[in-house]
Structure 1
Amino acid sequence: MSNSDSRPTPTGDVGHFDRFARFYDFFSSPFDADILSEGLAQADRPIERVVDVAGGTGRAARAIDADERIVLDASKKMLAQARRRDLACVRGDASRLPLDSESVDAVVISDALHHIGDAEDALAEVARVLNPGGVLVVREFNPATIRGKLLVRGEHAIGMNSVFFTPEELTRMLADAELVPHVRNRGFDYTVAGVKRTSGTASRTA
């Protein structure tokens, strides 16, 4: 891993999260650990090292059973909350991950991809740092649903630059990043897992 005290150029909605970091967990809905586990189970290798990218206070990391859990976020104040929960933290930009290539077994991006300034670059970076057979699990909200449209309007109304993706769009993006995608569902909240190919991995989408 590169310098854990790197100072990224702020991207996406970092400023908003710096402002309400102290209250984030209080207003957040309960985290569904079972859905996350289903995505991680798609990996073609044992999962020992997991990075919660754009992980904020580490809500997803806390729900993961792994030897090493790292929260990576560009918001200094969100990471301060994660450290209070004894989580390992790295400050960094999701589109320029301060991690070595093929150095982690799984990456989670939960409720956060729409806040990242350049989602395509972030997914390419995830593919770079994943070990072969490793998995990316993305939990997102579908802007094509009624609740999704309301969410988009609400976040834009408070000045966020959120860019949401449908399950179909995100599936294509994972495939473009050379990750084999699997969609859990296509409702308002959905999860896509993308596995980094090994020499014996067949191309499969769902």
Structure 2
Amino acid sequence: MNIFADETVANAYDSYYETEFGKKVDELERAALLEVMKDVPRGKLLELGSGTGHWTEFFLEQGFTVTASEVSDAMFAHARQKLAGRVEFRKADMMNLSIESESVENIAVITALEFVEDQMQAFAQMYRVLKPGGWLIVGCLNDSSVLGKNKADDPVYCHGEFMTKNDLETYLESFGIPQIVECVHLTANSEVLDGTDDAKTVPGVFLAACVQKED
């Protein structure tokens, strides 16, 4: 089941980032991604699971030339409204990418791997199409965090399979030496602890990672 094929879910996705809490989370996630991708040359980038285009806009702002790929028509419709003429759109399933091997300069996938059928296969597909020396940028939700522990209570996240930091590191080590940063450290009451000493006491909800594929 692709929960994001539901028009209601697609409509609500961007609305989250318009709330005060969503704006704070977005700020923290962007900062973490910028930290891990600071060495990535700004060139062509294939974004997998691009959704409504929220992160597509971020990568455009960072100077990438983006091809946005998504399997959900509902999500794609929102992205086309926002980004028509600024990016190339391609409907694609990361379980079976119809892309030539070792042909992609950079890949990004942000909070989409949680909802694929087989994470190992998705990483294998990304490895196959990424050029040697190319970069993979990943953002995912941490199974060890308060969100991960309570995802069964959420109508969207209950459909996802989150990764721990160790899980993500294991997948990325097949590419090279990854850098992983945690952020959005939340209490059980959704209080944001980032920027305080208490942040170190709880796992971050968001894992930002980057790795260069070894030649």
Which band: TM-score by shorter chain? Answer: 0.7 to 0.9
Distance (Å, rounded) in 1 between the aligned partners of 2:140 and 2:37: 15
Q: Give the aligned partner of residue 117 of structure 2.
A: 117
Residue by residue over 1:53-92, the C-alpha shift from the partner in whole angstroms, topping out at 9 and shown as x without a partner, is 1110111111112352111111011111111122321111
2:172/2:211 contact within 8 Å kept: yes
SS in structure 2 at match of 1:194: strand
Residue by residue over 1:183-205, the C-alpha shift from the partner in whole angstroms, topping out at 9 and shown as x without a partner, is 1235221212122012xxxxxxx
Q: How has the CA–CA distance of structure 1 residues 154 and 38 changed in structure 2, closer, same or farther, with 3 Å as cutoff?
A: same
Residue by residue over 1:86-121, the C-alpha shift from the partner in whole angstroms, topping out at 9 and shown as x without a partner, is 232111111112322223222111122111111111
Q: How has the CA–CA distance of structure 1 residues 34 and 179 changed in structure 2, closer, same or farther, with 3 Å as cutoff?
A: same
Distance (Å, rounded) in 2 between the aligned partners of 1:83 and 1:147: 30
Distance (Å, rounded) in 1 between the aligned partners of 2:157 and 2:173: 31
Pair 1:22 & 2:11 matched: yes
1:12/1:162 contact within 8 Å kept: no
Q: Which moved more, 1:182-191 or 1:91-100?
A: 182-191
Q: Give the aligned partner of residue 145 of structure 2.
A: 145
Distance (Å, rounded) in 1 between the aligned partners of 2:97 and 2:210: 19
Please tell me the residue identity of whatever aligns with 1:171.
Answer: E
Distance (Å, rounded) in 2 between the aligned partners of 1:66 and 1:51: 13
Larger fraction in helix:
2
Distance (Å, rounded) in 2 between the aligned partners of 1:78 and 1:158: 14
Q: Give the aligned partner of residue 204 of structure 1.
A: none
Q: Give the aligned partner of residue 203 of structure 1.
A: none
Q: Give the aligned partner of residue 190 of structure 2.
A: none
SS in structure 1 at match of 2:137: strand
1:42/1:135 contact within 8 Å kept: no
Report the number of matched residues.
182
Q: Give the aligned partner of residue 36 of structure 2.
A: 39
Name structure 1 gaps, 5 residues minimum: 1-10, 199-206
Name structure 2 gaps, 5 residues minimum: 183-202
Out of 206, 210, 215, which is 1:189 matched to? 206
Question: 1:12 Cα shift?
Answer: 4.7
Distance (Å, rounded) in 2 between the aligned partners of 1:61 and 1:82: 9
Out of 29, 49, 52, which is 2:47 matched to? 52
1:14/1:75 contact within 8 Å kept: yes
Distance (Å, rounded) in 2 between the aligned partners of 1:158 and 1:138: 20
Q: CA RMSD in A?
A: 2.2
Q: Which moved more, 1:110-119 or 1:158-167?
A: 158-167
Q: How does 1:146-165 map to 2 (within 5 A)?
A: 146-150=146-150, 152-155=151-154, 157=155, 160-165=158-163
State TM-score, norm by structure 2.
Answer: 0.74
Distance (Å, rounded) in 2 between the aligned partners of 1:146 and 1:168: 17
